[in-house]
Amino acid sequence: MKRTCRILWMIFVLFFGLNAAVSARVVDRIVAKVNEKIITLSDVKREAKVLKLENPQRFGDLNPNDPRTLKFFLDQMISTILIESELKKIGREVTDKEVDAAYESIKKKNKMTDKQFKTFLEKKGLTVKEYRIALKQRIERMRFFSLAIKSHITITDEDIKAYYEKHKDEFGGEERVKIAQIFVPVPKDLPSERRLERQNLIMKIQGELYKGKNFFAIVEKYKNNPIVRGFEDMGWFKRKDLMKPIADAAFKLKKGAVSDVIETKLGYHIIKVLDIQQVKGLKFEDVKPKIERILYQKESERRLDEWIENAKKQANVQIML
């Protein structure tokens, strides 16, 4: 009897223990293969956690359980493996010693002990082992970038000058206008007869202006009219700050001039230019370093994306997600 019970107990343990192990494995699964290297679901989720930790503004709201988002993080993992393979090929792999040094440097920079840093990672859903794997991959990416991308990028003075000329609104001198406005809104769902009433009203106001009535006197006259909205001083605007029809009119008028009726998707406008100001632009030499950094970043991203796409074509990449 005792022997029978023992046998039954062994069968129970083997059967249910095996099922538990199988269930544990089912939670993690292979989602991609790059040449001979496999990527599991846990690898992708680790990448998601690290990216969210490193750049919460960009990745903080992304849900790694969303299939579309999961594919984005998987793509990051694929590029990481391709970069790792390339470094191995040229004999520039990242060593454990380098990872140790980087790990200690991060702790020191954040003024944390081993225990404090471990607790911090746990709150972010990461173990120290997972973080070290991700850290190694980050070092690999930086090394690859330095060797294969950075050293081949040249930004010329001509490139910088062309960017400066193309972005005059950002770096060069720019005109601003101060305006007053009479506005008759026309909501999208307004019946056609009511729309016509508002069109007739703005035309009536325009007629009063043509007859020489003062702009601000009209604003005062209609201040209690629920349809007409008058603004005696709306402040300063650059061209890019205004709706195109209003900007086109405002920057053609002289100081003190009043526009014709301007129609936009919001309704009818009549503006008066109160003042015009030329904003002093930044000198080319003052913004040259900033533009160089912008161009360098853009070219770096372009070349890295290009290299990854070519590497994917040459590799045997199988996605099973």
CATH of the domain at 61: 1.10.4030.10
Assigned domain for 165 exists: no
Q: What is the mean pLDDT of residues 96-105?
A: 94
Q: Per-residue pLDDT tens for 205-257?
A: 999 999 999 999 999 999 999 899 999 999 999 888 999 999 999 999 999 99
When divided into structural domains, the chain yields a total of: 2
Confidence band of 172 (pLDDT split at 50, 70, 90): low
Rounded distance between C-alpha atoms, residue 24 and residue 18, angstroms: 10
Q: 195 and 68, same structural domain? A: no
Q: Does residue 42 lie in a domain region?
A: yes
State the pLDDT confidence band at 272, using cuts at 50, 70 and 90: very high
Same domain membership, residue 8 and residue 143: yes
Q: Which CATH number does the domain housing residue 219 bear?
A: 3.10.50.40
In a domain, 289, yes or no: no
Q: What percent of the chain has pLDDT over 90?
A: 61
Phi and psi at residue 247, to the nearest 5°: -60, -45
Same domain? 134 vs 32: yes
121 and 11 together in one domain: yes
Q: Are 11 and 127 in a shared domain? A: yes
Q: What is the pTM of this model?
A: 0.55
- pLDDT attached to residue 63: 80
Mean pLDDT of 259-279: 93
At CB < 8 A and 24+ separation, what contacts does 246-252 make? 246/271, 250/177, 250/179, 251/175, 251/177
Half-sphere exposure of residue 72, counting CA atoms within 13 Å on the CB side? 14
On whether residue 285 sits in a domain, the answer given is no
Do 134 and 205 lie in one domain? The reply is no
Q: Is residue 134 part of a domain?
A: yes
Q: Is the pLDDT of residue 23 over 50?
A: no
Integer CA distances (angstroms), 100 to 80, 82, 106, 108, 234, in order: 20, 23, 10, 12, 59
Question: Does 163 map to a domain?
Answer: no
In a domain, 54, yes or no: yes
H or E stretch at 229: strand 229-231
Listed in sequence order, the residues at least 6 apart from 289 whose beta carbon sits closer than 8 Å to its beta carbon are none
Domain holding 219, by residue range, is 174-279
* Residue 8 DSSP SS3: helix
Helix (H, G, I), strand (E, B) or coil at 211: coil
Residues 257 and 200 in one domain: yes
Model pLDDT, residue 19: 40
With respect to residue 164, please indicate whether it lies within any of the assigned structural domains: no
Instruction: For residue 209, give the nearest of 273, 263, 260, 255 by alpha carbon.
Output: 260
What is the residue-averaged pLDDT of the chain? 86
DSSP 18-83: HHHHHHHHHHS-EEEEETTEEEEHHHHHHHHHHHHHH-HHHHTT--TTSHHHHHHHHHHHHHHHHH
pLDDT at 171: 74
Q: Does one domain contain both 19 and 116?
A: yes
State what percent of residues in the chain have pLDDT above 70. Answer: 91
